[in-house]
Every structure is written in structure tokens, then in C-alpha cells.
Amino acid sequence: MSVMVMQDLIYMAVLVGLSIPLGIYIYKVMTGQRVFLTPVLAPVERVIYKLMGTAAGEEMNAGKYAVSVLLFSGVGFVFLFLLLMLQGALPFNPERMKGTSWHLAFNTAASFTTNTNWQAYSGESDLSYFTQFTGLAVQNFVSAATGIAVLFALIRGLVLRQKKTIGNFWADLVRTTLYLLIPLSFVVALLLVSQGVVQTFGPYKDVTMLESGALQTIPLGPAASQIAIKQLGTNGGGFFGVNSAFPLENPTAFSNMVQSLSILLIPAALCVSFGGAVKDSRQGRSIYLTMLIFFGAALAATTASEQFAGPVFEQVAASGSMEGKEVIHGVGASSLWAVVTTAASNGSVNAMHDSLTPLGGMVPMFLMQLGEIVFGGVGSGLYGMLAFVLLTVFIAGLMVGRTPEYLGKKVEPFDMKMVCLIVLVPPLLTLLGTSAAVAVPEARSWLTNSGAHGFSEILYAFSSMANNNGSSFAGFQANTVFTNVLGGIIMLLVRFIPMTAVIFLAGNMAQKKAVAVSEGTLSTSNTVFVGLLIGVILIIGALSFLPALALGPIADFLTTQ
């Protein structure tokens, strides 16, 4: 156990250490300041703007910014949908994969366009190399960049005074992709290739097994390049079916650490960027601390459950529950990854979550149900947390009878309407999707387990889709017309309704005057506010999901003791 604790402490220390300089770098990039890559990339950036017919300094109001986001994402969705349907007639398809069904194409296009990366397919048996690197990998970049762009639109809304514009979506998209995601992905991909992660356009290999002499087909492909951006962009969609539990996708302890750090690196760094952008690093630190407290508590609970609450065979308890885990990773690294991937809206796995202990599986599920705000997705996690900050400020204002303020701006009725859309749409669609699936007579045939654990499989699946995560309890059969269509609709709604609300919240905030700080102004950077914020988040989460959790993982725990 001490080794696991040391591993977790090292992980968190390295994460914080790397996030600070990266956060400063992102702040400079997104505010147009000179960085060390400027001499190389600035000419490329100018050429891209010229080809797009826009200028970096061209400003957009909230309506134009939102339309740009939705149109760009819509075009990406249509392109990927057609690519999936037609992949059988396209190049780089050595295994001659056929086009997918229309409902699987719809679900997958919705999934990758929304940064969810829910996978109702197995990559090595359903998708060609061309589809993977032209369709999925491209969406890994641009969906992540879109989330960061919208975050900075909100930050500008909080910072600007009496302005009608919140920046330029196309400039935000280009800068995020060009200066941040591509360089980082290149570095991570090289690190992964050095560890043996496969990167080839060659066909699958047939090999003879040493023990049985049977012939086994080893799937290959250009995996390392896609894995790098799937982790850095909190996308999570694996090149292979079992994701980062597959030896050619995550072969060593070092590759495991690189990937797990990559998942939280940008979301954590954005807290530092936020502090710089609002000219008050304490604001960024308070949000960062809130996220770290949630993360540390979830990690401790999951690791303890997997280590001490595993199954007992013939009155003998094993030292840690190893069911569904790779020996190379063990309980510690598997528990760490499960928390990391659901704290972020990543969804990649290095162990099968369906095999986690009941309480060990409940913690990652609840992290998703909180709205993916404990670091969360790149951009989307922080703007979701900022919505909870505004909600907390509003509640505190009601308690003392004072108009709530945040960063020198009054929080008014329109702002709270947008906050409610951001905070409440994910839990609403989670519960509606779960209830709809449970009511379908065929639902039992989609499950590996019955009873409380079977319900947990359904609840986890829709918690994942309705919070743009993408992980699943592996026992759930997702590739059905019902699940693909309903899940695809939910993923689209839960991504773009809150995202549009964030943009209009930014636009409304940007038009406001600054309010002078007084003795009655609530501090949003001290430990008292951090505690209040944690309480509000937990109350909203508990009110929304405690009954469902009682029917699922809690009942599963009580009936398996």
C-alpha cells in the first residue's frame, strides 16, 4: 500500500510541477503574446488565416461566436459520418474493413465531434487506418481545441468591461491547435513510440503462438500518434478495442505514466492560465485546489476499495482485486487511471471498469456525474467549474441578502439561467437516458450481469455519454440501434447546449461595468470559499444521483458482502 501512496504522490507532484509552466505558456498563446515557438509558427498561423479568410484581430459577438462553433462542429460531424459509412471504398484499408452501419456511424460521429469518444465498436475489427487517422484523430484535435476556445471566450467575458465582443473563434481554434496540441502531441507520440507503442501503416501480422502452436493475428496501425492526442485532448477513444489495456497501446509502466499524466496536464494547466488571464493568480489557485481535493479523495477511496474490498475465495481474501486488471499495472496504477480518466472527460481505460469492486466503480461513476468538473475536459472542465463558482457565489449572496458578484461583475438573472443550463443539462440527460434504457424490454440482453450490477452497467454508460466521458463498464453491449441513436443524441445535446450557454454567458458578462470591491464583497479565493464550493458541488451531485447510486453500486456492495 505504501508503494501505491508513493506512486500517487509522485503523480500529483509531477502533474502540478508540469502544469504551472504549461499554464503560463497557454495564457501567453491565447492572449497573442510571443512564445518560443512564435518564430516558427507565426508565419504558418498567418497563412492559415489567409486561407480561412479571417484575421486574428477580427472580433465576434456571442451570437456569431456560437454560430461559428456550431457550424464548424456540424461540418465535422457530417464529414466523419460519411467517412465511416464509406470507409470500405477508401484507401489505407489493408484489412478491407467495410463501412459501418448508419446508426453506428451516427453514434461514432456524434461521439468524436463532442469530445466524448464513446466507442460502440472495436477499432481493430471495425475501422480502417484511414478512418482512424483522417476522421477520429482530426476530431481529437479540433474538438479539444473547440473546448479551450470556448473557455477563453468565457474568460474574456469575465475580464472585459462594457464590450460586445468576446474574441474570434477561428483565431482561438488555430492558436490552440497550432501552438499547443500539435507540439505536445508530437512529444508524447515520440515518448510512446520509444516504449514500443505501435506506429505503422503495415497490415496485421499473423504469428504462431509458442505454447499452443495456434495462429494468432496481431492488429497493428498508426496508433501512437492517435494515442498522444486522445490523452492530451481528453478524448480517450482507443485505437484498439480494449484501449490502453492493450499491450501495443500501453506496453510499459513508463508509457502508462506518460499517458495518465497527459490526460490531466492541459486541464490542470488551464487553472494556471485562468489565474493569469484574470490578473489574479489566487482565483486560479482556489479552483485548482478544489479540483485537487476532489481528485485526492476519489483516488484514496478507489485505491482502498480495490486493495481491501476485493472478493474472498474460500474465506481467504486476495491482496488486492486483480480481476480485469493487467499484471504490469496492478491495483495501484489501475485505480489511479480509473480516477484520472473519469475526473477528466477522457474515458480511456487500462483496466476493465466492469470488474472494479462496487465502491471502486461507484467513485469513477460519481466523478462523471458531478459534470466532469474535477479537471474535466480540456476547456469544458474549467468552464463547467466556473459555472459552479457562479452558482456558489449566487447562493452565498442569497444567504446574506447581497447581490452576488464575481471578479468585479454582478451575477444577474440571465447569468443564472445560463449557469442552470450548464449545470443541470448533464444530470438531466443522464437520468433520462438511463430510465429510457431500463424501460426497453431488450435491455437485459445488453448486459453481462443482472441485478444491481446490471443496473450499474446501464447507469455508468449513460453517465459516461451524458457527461462527454466515453468510458464504460465493459459488460454493457452498446452497439444496438437504440443505444447508438439515443446515446448519439444525448452526446450532442450535452455538449452543445451547455457550450452555447457558456458563450452567451460570456457575452452578457463582457457588457457589464466593473463593480467596486467593498467590505461586503465575498472573497472567492480563500479556503472558506473553497469549502463552500465543494459543498455546493456535492449537494448538487447527491441530490441528482443518490437514488440511482443506491439502486446500483451501493446495492451491489451491500448484496455482495
Q: How many CB atoms lie within 10 A of CB 423?
A: 24
Cα–Cα distances in angstroms (integers) from residue 436 to residues 200, 432, 526, 553, in the given order: 42, 6, 43, 19
Cα–Cα distances in angstroms (integers) from residue 536 to residues 271, 389, 391, in the given order: 20, 9, 8
pLDDT above 80 (res 518): no
Q: What's the burial of 301, exposed, middle or buried (CB within 10 Å: 0-12/13-18/19+)?
A: middle
Distance of CA 466 to the CA centre of its chain: 12
319-358 pLDDT, tens digit per residue, is: 778 888 888 888 889 999 999 999 998 989 988 888 888 9
Q: Which helix (H) or strand (E) holds 203?
A: none
pLDDT score of 555: 92
Q: What is the pTM of this model?
A: 0.94
Instruction: Tell me if 423 sits within 8 A of 373, measured CB to CB.
Output: no
Q: Which three cell numbers stand for residue 441?
A: 424490454
* DSSP, res 278: T
Q: Which three cell numbers stand for residue 287?
A: 479552483
454-480 pLDDT, tens digit per residue, is: 899 999 999 999 999 988 887 788 889
- DSSP SS3 for 165: coil
pLDDT score of 561: 61
Confidence of residue 301 (pLDDT cuts 50, 70, 90): very high
Long-range contacts of 448-452 (CB under 8 A, 24+ apart): 448/354, 448/474, 448/475, 448/476, 449/354, 449/475, 451/555, 451/556, 451/559, 452/358, 452/551, 452/552, 452/553, 452/555, 452/556, 452/559
203-243 pLDDT, tens digit per residue, is: 899 888 887 888 888 888 899 999 999 999 998 888 888 88
pLDDT score of 208: 87
- DSSP SS3 for 98: coil
Mean residue pLDDT of the chain comes to 91
pLDDT above 90 (res 257): yes
Q: What's the burial of 36, exposed, middle or buried (CB within 10 Å: 0-12/13-18/19+)?
A: exposed
42-94 pLDDT, tens digit per residue, is: 999 999 999 988 888 889 999 999 999 999 999 999 999 999 999 999 998 88
First vs last C-alpha separation in the chain = 23
pLDDT above 60 (res 494): yes
126-164 pLDDT, tens digit per residue, is: 899 999 989 999 999 999 999 999 999 999 999 999 999
